[in-house]
Amino acid sequence: MRVLLAAVLSLAAVLGAAAPAAAQARSEPFNSGHVEAQLIAQDAGVVPGSTVILGLRQKITEGWHTYWRNPGDSGEATKLLWTLPAGWTAGEIVWPAPHRLPLGPLVNYGFSDGVILPVSVQAPASARPGETVTLKAAVTYLVCKDVCIPEGAQLQIDVPVVAAPAGADPKWGAELIKTVADAPKPAGLNATFQTAADSLKLSVTGGPLAGADMSGAYFYPYNGAVIDHAGPQAIERGPQGLTLTVKPSVALAMGTAPTMIDGVLVLPGGAYELTANTGPLQPAAAGLGPPPAAAGSSGEGGGSGGAPLGLIAAAAFAFIGGLILNLMPCVFPVLSMKAASLASHADDRRATQAQGLAFMAGVLVTFLILGGLLIAVRAAGETVGWGFQLQSPAVVAALGLIMLLTALNLSGVFEIGTSVQSVGSGLASKGGLAGAAFTGALAVVVAAPCTAPFMAPALGFALTQSPAAAMTVFLALGLGMAAPFTALAFIPALLKLIPRPGAWMDTFRKVLAFPMYAAAAWLAWVLAQQTDSGGLARLLAAAVLVAFAAWLYGRGQSPENSKAKHWGLTASGAAGVAVSVIAAVALPYAPVASAASGATVTAASGLEHEPYSPERLAELRSADIPVFVDFTAAWCVTCKVNEKTTLSTAKVADAFQNTGAVYMVGDWTNQNPQIAAILSRYGRAGVPLYLVYGAGGKEAVVMPQFLTVGAVVAALEAAAA
């Protein structure tokens, strides 16, 4: 019996000696009926002289909530009052990011379901391994649902002191580690703010914001007397960050503005601490003011002002803009002939539908490629937008040659596939489908200089979102552009409305060539704005070679000449030689922007004007002078139409003279980061953009993309009032 007792006692001693190795912090939860509160530890023990992370765990009954460090319009933050052994010290609560808790007209900040509030506790170097230390805290909190109940508890936790790191607590360690990792932290953000009587603008750039998803961004200030918590926070996205416009608190509006504001910025990808100092807002963050209201009706469904677009609205706008692109002067001739060719084979529904789908595929693939390139260029740090490719003189030159080739084809100099007399034959053949797909791709390429109504806000939204969201908008734009032709192919009743091909078709086709010749000439003029005379000369030489190659190719298509040889070559072979000459001679000397590109301001309206600069604009505004800013480009069709039909009229000139307004022109023909930042600030991906700044420091008013004389005159008069 004694032997058995000795064995039991020995086993107990062994287990007792081994206890520290298997030790873990121990505590008991307190349940008030609304909140179960408990102290927990990240590690199973603490080494003398080191830190242990503890946490106040609150498991909150469904429908109830507790509060963040700034509770918002009402409420009370959770508090901890520690009672610690001599030499032990506790830090402040590391607050997780809260969420909003609307309550009638109020908005509070806090936590539902549950939360862990970490606190670091420092052990003294004199702590002795093998002992267990009891750490106590009195916790008080306000828990609310329909009513608010102040509650409290006396909590404690036993933490073993160990000689070596004990590892994570098996029950709570992983959860506390994740809570600390997810808590808001400084991230190298640059933040400034400005206050006015009815707005507080906070701009934030740097750190992880470049290219981040900023949808639903929200700023939680640490000081509860800074903003109106129930007011909306309007988001303006920029290439490197964002600007939030919020309503200041009553106390802030009536008192002295602070010189510093700190808090937490919450984005879909994480939460970040920031400290903002008063000062000029950062253009790369988005802008100097809230999304402005449009003057008059822009036909964009409020896309230029008001609440930021969502993905569904942006996709809808893009679809409508794509529909309108079909009517643009460069696109319409291409599609008209293709549509007429379908009418001659309306009875072959399968072949006609196949062409409609092939056309749609060509449009969609080209739009997605263009959108992907745009996203990639912006991700690389370039501030570019819709039509960015036309800021490259080499691209403008290539597009001009494509326009010339299209015009020569419509003029009958050469044929692609079949002649006009047999157009549409073999629609179901591989060549016919390839031709339809090529037509779709060509339509997108020639539409590049155009920005249709509804497109601007949609593309502006797309370029501030994730790549997946941006590509969704480009897909919707392509579907809109492809929809009319594809619908024509699938709806026989629509095809029957188009006259059957005949002699008229050859005449109509040749008439349609002239808008394409005009487009080629216009692009040559655009190139002349971007380069020196040498660049224009090289383009004209390339145009002659292209026309010669097209003529040779057309001669080779006739039966009598298809096999005939000239200088030892067939006509088709000679065309190949001519193209090779272009590659050998023209391409090595592809035009590049001249050193002075961007310095010349275009203003086809003839109005007296000044070149745009942020400094000059600020100077004019400080002098209470109304300003009309025209962001344009030589390659922008819509811009040129507005200049000729509206801005060049006598009534508009009189309005500028009578109001004393200054006309500024921001030329985006070549790349200009300052203009790109302005476009991004106002949610635009490209030009035109018209801003009217009123006297007295009024915020800019965005004019519609398509101007009218009455709208411009009214905007100038309102700005001067």
Give me the mean pLDDT over the 107-124 stretch: 95
Domain at 186-285: CATH architecture: Sandwich (2.60)
- Per domain, the residue ranges of the chain are 20-183, 186-285, 311-512, 532-590, 610-720
Q: Looking at residue 716, what is its pLDDT?
A: 93
Q: Write the pLDDT tens digit of every residue in 62-74.
A: 999 999 999 998 8
CA dist., res. 556 & res. 549, Å (int): 11
If DSSP codes are grouped into helix, strand and coil, which group holds residue 286?
A: coil
pLDDT class for 113, splitting at 50, 70, 90? Answer: very high
**Can you read off the two tokens belonging to residue 579?**
């193209």
Q: Looking at residue 629, what is its pLDDT?
A: 94
Q: Looking at residue 346, what is its pLDDT?
A: 58
pLDDT class for 489, splitting at 50, 70, 90? Answer: confident
Q: What is the distance, to the nearest Å, from the Cα of residue 116 to the centroid of all Cα atoms in its chain?
A: 34
**Can you read off the two tokens belonging to residue 251?**
């106390």
In CATH terms, the fold of domain 20-183 is Immunoglobulin-like (2.60.40)
Q: Looking at residue 516, what is its pLDDT?
A: 80
Give me the mean pLDDT over the 637-655 stretch: 86
pLDDT for 46 beyond 80? yes
pLDDT for 7 beyond 60? no
Q: The dihedral of CA 358, 361, 365, 367: what is its sign? A: positive
CA dist., res. 703 & res. 78, Å (int): 50
CA dist., res. 270 & res. 534, Å (int): 52
Longest dimension (CA), the chain: 123
Tabulate helix, strand, coil % of the chain (nearest 5): 40, 20, 35
pLDDT class for 384, splitting at 50, 70, 90? Answer: low
**Can you read off the two tokens belonging to residue 611?**
């070149």
pLDDT class for 119, splitting at 50, 70, 90? Answer: very high
CA dist., res. 445 & res. 428, Å (int): 25
Inter-residue contact 590 to 581 (CB < 8 Å)? no
pLDDT for 21 beyond 80? no
**Beta-ladder partners of 267:** 270
Lowest-confidence segment of 108-117, 425-434, 506-515 by average pLDDT: 425-434
Closest CA to 690 of 631, 621, 619: 631
Lowest-confidence segment of 238-242, 479-483, 488-492, 694-698 by average pLDDT: 694-698
Q: Looking at residue 573, what is its pLDDT?
A: 59
Q: Write the pLDDT tens digit of every residue in 207-233.
A: 888 777 787 889 999 998 889 888 888
Q: Compute the residue count for the chain.
A: 721
If DSSP codes are grouped into helix, strand and coil, which group holds residue 495?
A: helix
**Can you read off the two tokens belonging to residue 566?**
């000239």
More confident residue, 537 or 377: 537
Q: Looking at residue 456, what is its pLDDT?
A: 64
- Which string of b and e fits 201-217 if b means at least 16 CB within 10 Å? bbbbbbbebeebbbbeb
If DSSP codes are grouped into helix, strand and coil, which group holds residue 357?
A: helix
More confident residue, 237 or 51: 51
**Can you read off the two tokens belonging to residue 580?**
């090779």
Lowest-confidence segment of 413-422, 488-497, 586-595, 707-716 by average pLDDT: 586-595
> Which residues lie below 8 Å from residue 279, measured CB to CB, with a gap of 6+?
192, 193, 194
pLDDT for 75 beyond 50? yes
Q: The dihedral of CA 261, 262, 266, 269: what is its sign? A: positive
Which residue shows structure tokens 């604009």?
617
Lowest-confidence segment of 31-35, 381-385, 522-526 by average pLDDT: 381-385
**Can you read off the two tokens belonging to residue 244?**
């939030």
Q: The dihedral of CA 444, 450, 453, 457: what is its sign? A: positive
**Can you read off the two tokens belonging to residue 45?**
């023990």
More confident residue, 592 or 338: 338
Q: Looking at residue 31, what is its pLDDT?
A: 92
pLDDT for 600 beyond 50? no
Number of C-alpha atoms within 13 angstroms, CB side, residue 561? 13
Q: Looking at residue 428, what is its pLDDT?
A: 30
Inter-residue contact 174 to 168 (CB < 8 Å)? yes
**Can you read off the two tokens belonging to residue 207?**
């750190």
Provide the H-helix boundaries in 491-532. 492-495, 503-530
**Can you read off the two tokens belonging to residue 213?**
């998803």
pLDDT class for 11, splitting at 50, 70, 90? Answer: very low
Q: Write the pLDDT tens digit of every residue in 393-431.
A: 777 787 788 888 888 888 888 776 443 333 333 333 334
Q: Looking at residue 3, what is its pLDDT?
A: 39
**Can you read off the two tokens belonging to residue 561?**
């000449």
**Beta-ladder partners of 102:** 107
pLDDT for 339 beyond 90? no
> Which residues lie below 8 Å from residue 543, measured CB to CB, with a gap of 6+?
400, 401, 404, 520, 524
Q: Write the pLDDT tens digit of every residue in 617-636.
A: 888 888 889 999 999 887 77
pLDDT for 146 beyond 70? yes
Pick 610-720's CATH classification: 3.30.43.10, 3.20.20.70, 3.40.50.10860, 3.40.30.10.
3.40.30.10
Prior bond of 467 cis (ω within 30°): no
Q: Looking at residue 558, what is its pLDDT?
A: 64
Q: Write the pLDDT tens digit of every residue in 676-692.
A: 777 766 767 678 889 99
Fold match flag (20-183 vs 610-720): no
Inter-residue contact 93 to 81 (CB < 8 Å)? no
Q: Write the pLDDT tens digit of every residue in 553-568.
A: 777 766 665 555 544 4
pLDDT for 299 beyond 70? no
- Which string of b and e fits 91-124 if b means at least 16 CB within 10 Å? eebbbbbbeebebeeebbbbbeeebbbbbbbbbe
Q: Looking at residue 114, what is its pLDDT?
A: 94
CA dist., res. 28 & res. 31, Å (int): 10
What proportion of the chain, given as a percentage, has pLDDT over 90?
27
Q: Looking at residue 468, what is its pLDDT?
A: 81
Mean pLDDT taken over the chain = 77
Q: What single-letter amino acid sits at 232?
A: P
CA dist., res. 257 & res. 254, Å (int): 9
Number of C-alpha atoms within 13 angstroms, CB side, residue 204? 29
Lowest-confidence segment of 70-84, 187-201, 294-308, 520-534 by average pLDDT: 294-308
- Measured CA distances, 54 to 93, 492, 664 (Å): 10, 73, 61
> Which residues lie below 8 Å from residue 191, measured CB to CB, with a gap of 6+?
202, 203, 204, 205, 274, 275, 276, 277
Q: Looking at residue 312, what is its pLDDT?
A: 85
